[in-house]
Amino acid sequence: MTGKWVIGVGLCAALAAGPVLAAQPSEAQVRELMQVMNVPGQFTVMNNQMASMMSQQLPCVSADYWKTYIDKAGQEQLLTAMIPAYQHHFTSDEVEGLIKFYKSPLGQKLVAQMPATMTEAAQSGQQWGRQRTSDMFAELQKQGKLDAQGRCPGTSGAQGQ
């Protein structure tokens, strides 16, 4: 009877502990995944966009200054800071599968086409958002909840905008 009791307790303990934890990917695996996903290239695109935006907001500062925001050292720091997130959300086997996919022709096409795809998708989203906002404002004006200037009736010009 004691043997069955020990097995039963062991089984309960194993079930209470939950599923066996899958192996966490190594830093080297995550770095390889980031390379085949062209994460450093994405940093360059982000950096160039940010430099353009900042030079418009601060024309007294050269755009070249902002292009150093994510320099080589910054890229390394950012990659290192991102590794734990990948380790938290993916197992070693999953990272290996992702590496295999991103090394495939379809994975490489995804990497190559994603910047343009995301740009087009963002433009479509912005256009949709402008139209949706306009439609909703028109409906609120029709209901009398907003005046012709898009403000709450009875508010001064500085409020409700």
Q: What is the full per-residue pLDDT of the chain (161 aa) written as tens digits?
A: 555 554 555 545 555 554 556 799 999 999 999 999 999 988 888 888 888 889 888 889 888 888 888 888 999 999 999 999 999 999 999 999 999 999 999 999 999 999 889 889 989 999 999 999 999 989 999 999 899 888 898 776 554 44
Domains of the chain, residue spans: 23-103, 108-143
CB-CB neighbours of 108 under 10 Å? 14
Q: One-letter amino acid identity for 27?
A: E
The interaxial angle of helices 27-36 and 92-103, nearest 10 deg, is: 20
pTM, rounded to two decimals: 0.68
CA dihedral 42, 43, 49, 51 (to 10 degrees): -160
